């Protein structure tokens, strides 16, 4: 991709967006890598403008499952650390099922594998089970 000569207004406009993107812990795309490798290009400028307008860019959509997993994972870990279980132990959520700490562990294992792209190195059943538990107990993930 052709690097664009940046002068004046364009560089002044894009540099703060890039700085914000680099500091954003919830950004899981790779636009910053493109800028680091290639400089400001038409492609990276498009992504920076998308990020500025929407808070994300198309690079996060290329691997959306991993982007979502990266967002959810630290929050599930914090939920577990703080022992925030939205229901009293022993209270049924779905039918006879009770939301328990080990359910959160299985969700965490699932999202770790998806975030790390460990599809070949993991048990696909772990991912299926973690996603099923996340779906089943989604409404129990509250303070």
Chain segment 101-129, per-residue pLDDT in tens? 889 999 999 999 999 887 666 678 889 99
Q: Establish how many alpha carbons lie within 13 A of residue 98's alpha carbon, considering only the half-sphere containing its beta carbon.
A: 6
DSSP label of 138: G
**By the 8 A CB rule, do 126 and 84 touch?**
no
State how far the alpha carbon of 63 is from the alpha carbons of 47, 59, 79, 97, in Å: 15, 8, 25, 33
Residue 80 has which token pair? 């577990």
Among candidate residues 5, 65, 42, 40, the one with its CA nearest the CA of residue 32: 40
Residue 94 has which token pair? 């779905």
Chain segment 25-52, per-residue pLDDT in tens? 989 899 999 999 998 889 999 999 999 9
- The reply to whether the predicted model has a pTM over 0.85 is no
DSSP label of 35: H
Cα of 115 vs its chain's centroid, Å: 8
């Amino acid at each position: 991709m052709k690097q664009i000569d940046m002068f004046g207004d364009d560089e002044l406009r894009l540099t703060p967006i890039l700085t914000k993107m680099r500091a954003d812990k919830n950004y899981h795309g790779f636009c910053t890598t493109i800028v680091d490798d290639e400089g400001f290009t038409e492609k990276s400028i498009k992504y920076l403008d998308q990020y500025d307008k929407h808070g994300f860019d198309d690079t996060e959509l290329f691997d959306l499952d991993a982007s979502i997993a990266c967002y959810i994972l630290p929050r599930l870990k914090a939920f577990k650390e703080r022992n925030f279980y939205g229901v009293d132990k022993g209270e049924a959520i779905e039918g006879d099922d009770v939301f328990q700490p080990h359910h959160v562990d299985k969700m965490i294992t699932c999202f770790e594998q998806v975030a790390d792209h460990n599809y070949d190195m993991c048990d696909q059943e772990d991912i299926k089970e973690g996603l099923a538990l996340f779906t089943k107990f989604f409404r129990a993930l509250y303070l």
